[in-house]
Amino acid sequence: MKISSLQTARYEYAPKLPGMLRNGIADICVKEGADTQSVADQEKIKALFPNTYGKKEITFQKGQNTSEAKKQVVGVILSGGQAPGGHNVVCGLYDALKATNPENELYGFKGGPSGLIEDDYIVLTDDYVDQFRNTGGFDIIGSGRTKLETNEQFAIAAEVCKKHGITAIVIIGGDDSNTNAGILAEYFAANNTGVQVIGCPKTIDGDLKNEDIECSFGFDTATKTYSEIIGNIARDCNSAKKYWHFIKVMGRSASHVALECALETQPNICLISEEVAAKKMSLSQIADYIADSVEKRAAKGMNFGIAVIPEGVVEFVPEFSALIQEINELLAGSKADDFNALPTWEEKYAFIEKGLTKESMEVFAILPQAIQQQLFLERDPHGNVQVSLIESEKLFSALVADKLAARKAAGTYKGKFGTLHHFLGYEGRCAFPSNFDSDYCYSLGYNAFMLIQYGYTGYLSKISNLSQPANEWVAGGMPITKMMNIERRHGEDKPVIKKALVELDGKPFKYFEAHRDEWAENTCFVYPGAIQYYGPAEVCDITTVTLALEQGK
């Protein structure tokens, strides 16, 4: 297999650790903080997690190591969608484990949580792990989206752990995966299995965060990757001066990715889903907002621009959300078969018109036909519309085109409106991790083993003070239950980690809000360029604008 020179160089990169972890684990002790409680629904969460609720936050610091000396056999699982840096979490975990005792072992369960249930694994070795250091992707063991949530699954997992003498499981995943890690930890504790469970916060979406978890890993690299591409498109846009580029970016429901990309590149338009919801903006209002920018720029002879669209924005438009709910009801059960049996779109349209309320039909009618059909072609396993598959970048450009046509007829707009569309998603999920993500992820893995060595379970590996140089980072852990609340899922109340959406009173959004009117009318594009791995720290080790603003540094 041919290996690129960059990949070879990245194998040799030595990730930076927090200062207290740099001299080995012999001089590390635990400082316990206050007892914790869940972010909401305290009594309900406490009742569901009697063995793991309310534990103390902890911080590692220099001092005599008082952990029990014993052989550790650890299993590691990559869960959910890929995020840059995942390999380094495994590498950090492996290195800490081997540095503590060369006899320690690390089992990598293949293909995500299902690997644990199916007892499908590889025992990781130096030669194998070294092939993946500081590289993108999850291919070291693969990932999957199987949820560990039933007692039957937990019992099987306990038997697999017993078979191999496994003392701890590390689950590297997002909010759902770490919710499942918390539930698995409670089961193992309640049944005296002796198996600890530690989570690591992963998602490029940026929605697994709070005052303790300052940033989920992968967010830094993914947003830098997208921002490079947006900057490149903006440079082309400013050169050709003839197209409006509508660019949808990944991020599930939250708009953290879109906001960070806007802060890095200064596009003319960036929609923030959480603001759309707060202001109860309609599709028409959003289209007018974008059309205003197009018209003002056209008046200055600038018939070009950049609009960044977050992946989940349509979910936050009240009228569109109501439409989706009605469509889900319209096609519930056998009615979906009746609809799909209709031979032509005209007949299907009549079926839809008959089944929707007048208000929802008015919304449906203004959508481009391609978007209308997308709403009825793709369903998730529960029979619901997959909103993430809606080409919202094309939806908004079409709605804006209609607005501009009306303005042209009224004589208020005289410009040209040519459009191009882009979706930035998978390009960012497995990129070579930035130095920040390489360092952060390695530290998360190394720290996860420290939590194991000191006997903690149901904890999330935590590295904080992230806007500062790595030697000033602080390592520790927080109980997973601290992040939980109760939400309604599939007709049942479930304990889940609360998703963090963009805070409209937070510093990143406030900075964006203060500058966006200028960006909307003028050409203020910034071209961040490619991620840099070698050179001055102020170029190579910079973090996101979001984190810098949040930390006030």
The alpha carbon dihedral of 68, 443, 89, 423 has a sign of positive
Is the per-residue pLDDT at 197 higher than 90? yes
In this structure, the number of other CB atoms found within 10 A of the CB of residue 120 comes to 15
Q: Average pLDDT of the chain? A: 94
| Helices and strands in the chain: count of H runs, count of E runs | 21, 16
- Average pLDDT of span 431-455: 97
Residue 345 CA, distance from chain mean position: 36
pLDDT at 66: 87
DSSP letter assigned to residue 117? H
pLDDT at 380: 64
DSSP letter assigned to residue 431? S
Tokens of 487: 């939400």
- CA 551 – CA 398 distance, rounded (Å): 39
DSSP letter assigned to residue 212? S
- Average pLDDT of span 429-441: 97
For 96-132, the pLDDT digits (tens) are 999 999 999 999 999 999 999 999 999 999 999 999 9
Tokens of 106: 């690390």
pLDDT at 381: 61
Position with higher pLDDT, 7 vs 397: 397
Q: By the 8 A CB rule, do 506 and 550 touch?
A: yes
Lowest mean pLDDT among 145-149, 189-193, 426-430: 145-149
DSSP letter assigned to residue 503? P
81-90 residues labelled b (16+ CB within 10 A) or e (exposed): bbbbbbbbbb
Tokens of 311: 């992946």
* Token pair 């690390």: residue: 106
Taking Cα atoms as reference points, which of 460, 404, 470, 407 lies closest to residue 437?
Answer: 470
- Average pLDDT of span 151-161: 97
Q: What is the pTM of this model?
A: 0.95
In sequence order, what DSSP letters do the residues of 238-279 get, joined into one string?
HHH---EEEEEE--TT--HHHHHHHHHH--SEE--HHHHHHT
Burial class (CB in 10 A: 0-12, 13-18, 19+), 334: exposed
Q: What's the chain's length in residues?
A: 553
Is the per-residue pLDDT at 155 higher than 80? yes
- CA 289 – CA 181 distance, rounded (Å): 43
Q: By the 8 A CB rule, do 88 and 470 touch?
A: no
Residue 374: helix, strand or coil by DSSP?
A: helix
Lowest mean pLDDT among 233-237, 288-292, 338-342, 458-462: 338-342
Q: By the 8 A CB rule, do 520 and 268 touch?
A: yes
| Helix H or strand E segment including 50 | none
Using alpha carbons only, how large is the chain's radius of gyration in Å? 25
For 218-234, the pLDDT digits (tens) are 999 999 999 999 999 99
What is the bridge-based pairing of β-strands 244-249 and 419-424? parallel
Residue 476: helix, strand or coil by DSSP?
A: strand
Helix-, strand-, coil-residue percentages of the chain, each rounded to 5: 45, 15, 35
For 299-348, the pLDDT digits (tens) are 999 999 999 999 989 989 999 989 988 998 888 877 888 898 999 999 99
Identify the band that residue 287 occupies on the pLDDT scale cut at 50, 70 and 90: very high
Identify the band that residue 196 occupies on the pLDDT scale cut at 50, 70 and 90: very high
- CA 59 – CA 477 distance, rounded (Å): 7
Tokens of 156: 């099987």
Is the per-residue pLDDT at 516 higher than 70? yes
- Average pLDDT of span 505-529: 98
pLDDT at 388: 73
pLDDT at 490: 66
Q: Say how many CA atoms lie within 13 Å of 525 toward its Cβ.
A: 21
pLDDT at 1: 62
The alpha carbon dihedral of 278, 283, 285, 291 has a sign of positive
Taking Cα atoms as reference points, which of 483, 478, 479 lies closest to residue 499?
Answer: 483
φ/ψ (deg, to 5) at 291: -60, -35
pLDDT at 336: 83
For 21-59, the pLDDT digits (tens) are 887 777 899 999 999 999 999 999 999 999 999 999 999
For 367-415, the pLDDT digits (tens) are 989 889 888 876 666 566 777 778 999 999 999 999 999 999 999 999 9
- Going along the chain from its start, the domains and CATH numbers come out as 5-218+433-497 (3.40.50.450), 222-429+506-551 (3.40.50.460)
- Average pLDDT of span 448-459: 97
Is the per-residue pLDDT at 553 higher than 70? no
Q: Which residues are catalytic?
A: 205
